[in-house]
Amino acid sequence: MKKIIILSVILNLGFQMSAQEAAKAKALLDEVYNKVQGYDNIEVNFRYTLENKEANINQETRGDVTIQGDKYLFNYLGSQQLFDGKKVYTVVPENEEVTIENPSDDENTITPSKLLTFYKKGYNYAWDILQNVQGRKIQYVKLTPIDTHSEISNILLGIDAQTKHIYKLIETGKNGTKTTITVNSFKTNQPLSKTLFTFNEAKYEEEGYYIIRN
């Protein structure tokens, strides 16, 4: 009987600690979210790596994104994607193609405009490790999808403890693929052109681009 009581106490303490850690993780993410929401716009320069050891894949590239509300301008892998609040325009200079389509209505899709806020719903939170990166304290929070059918196993979100900005995102898929986004620079409230999020279709037609409408 004593063993059962001791085991029950240990399990109960473990549950309480887990709940406290989850609450602490959610509180930190709420701080990050509230800070991001306070900016008029955000410019992020990042490094992107994709790794799957079984498939012998190891790719690395760089990109940047400018976000203002739901609108964004995303440069990545030699292509450019623009969302003006209504349509998504993807420009691929190598193929001289422009694709115009409606934004995805899949809530699980992490678009550039959701990159800094996607974690608000759909995940369970856990407090993870603290790292020292060149004098910066990076606190990690582990996100596990509530949807058991999700292709994502977990996401580690590294947050700068001082600025409350996201420094790193490490997504591990159930297929073993690991995607890492590391923020090289994070600028806020920059002076932006009034036409930055305006797509000039006539310009690409004049240049001979093939326009695809989905």
* 2-60 confidence digits (pLDDT tens): 555 554 444 443 444 467 888 999 999 999 999 999 999 999 999 999 998 888 889 99
**Residue 18 confidence (pLDDT):** 65
Residue that has been written with the tokens 């681009």 in this structure: 209
Tell me how crowded residue 23 is: count the other CB atoms within 10 A of its CB.
12
What is the pLDDT, as a whole number, of residue 139?
97
Query: Does residue 64 have a pLDDT over 70?
Result: yes
Q: What is the pLDDT of residue 14?
A: 42
**Domain containing residue 57:** 1-213
Please check the confidence at residue 99 and state whether its pLDDT lies above 90: yes
Q: How many domains does the chain have?
A: 1
**Per residue in 118-147, is it b (16+ CB within 10 Å) or e — as a string?**
bbeeebebbbbeeeeeeeeebbbbbbebee
Q: What is the pLDDT of residue 7?
A: 46
State the CATH number of the domain containing residue 90: 2.50.20.10
pLDDT of residue 109: 64
Whole-angstrom CA distances from 167 to 4, 44, 60, 138, 140 are 45, 10, 17, 7, 10
Range with the largest mean pLDDT of 3-7, 107-111, 114-118, 122-126: 122-126
Residue linked to tokens 């996401």: 155
How many Å apart are CA 172 and CA 151, to the nearest integer?
9
Please tell me the pTM assigned to this model.
0.82
* pLDDT bracket for residue 106 (50, 70, 90): low
What is the percentage of the chain residues whose pLDDT exceeds 90? Answer: 70
Give pLDDT, residue 77: 85
Sheet holding 97-101, edge to edge: 123-133, 136-145, 152-160, 166-173, 178-188, 42-52, 57-68, 71-76, 79-83, 88-92, 97-101, 210-213
Q: What is the mean pLDDT of residues 60-86?
A: 93
Whether the Cβ atoms of residue 73 and residue 196 lie closer than 8 Å to each other: yes
Q: What is the pLDDT of residues 173-192, one digit of tens each?
A: 999 899 999 999 999 999 99
Confidence at residue 172, expressed as pLDDT on a 0 to 100 scale:
94
Over 70: is that where the pLDDT of 209 sits?
Answer: yes
Structure tokens at 46: 């990042």
| Mean pLDDT of the residues in the chain | 88
